[in-house]
Structure 1
């Protein structure tokens, strides 16, 4: 996970928190979080990078709509990141 951008990590978290989200659903979640528009030219290349790294799988719902799910490795990476963060951040 150390080699991911913050945006790519955020993509992983959104995908983890939804049931097979499609690209536009992911885009909308991130636009709400960032409070600005996320362009397709930013979203889809970063999703493809996560697929290439083996953190996310891309499936096809129909000819025009893809969905995304975390791989086991993607889930392990998120868990490892959260464990690492917990070493430094203690909020109670």
Structure 2
């Protein structure tokens, strides 16, 4: 996960915390966290990067809507990141 941007890591966490969210669901959640509007030109290329790295799976809900789901590799990347963070934050 060390090759992801902070924004991509945040997207990965949002996807991991939801059950096959749509791009719009992810956009809404990440906008709440960032307290600002995230445009499609920022969101979807970053989601595609997560898919291309094998951390997220992209599927079709209907002809217009895709869903995103965390893969086992994505879950492992999150666990490794959390372990790394704990070594610096646990007292």
What's the TM-score, normalizing by structure 1? 0.97
2:72 and 2:17 map into 1 onto residues whose CA distance is 14
Partner of 1:5: 5
1:69 and 1:41 map into 2 onto residues whose CA distance is 20
What's the TM-score, normalizing by structure 2? 0.98
What does the per-residue CA deviation read over 1:65-87, in whole Å, with 9 as the maximum and x for residues that have no partner? 00000110000000000000000
Deviation at 1:90, TM superposition (A): 2.0
5+ long unaligned stretches in structure 2: none
For 1:66-85, list aligned pairs within 5 A.
Answer: 66-85=66-85
Q: Matched residue pairs, number?
A: 91
2:90 and 2:74 map into 1 onto residues whose CA distance is 24
For 1:50-65, list aligned pairs within 5 A.
Answer: 50-65=50-65
5+ long unaligned stretches in structure 1: none
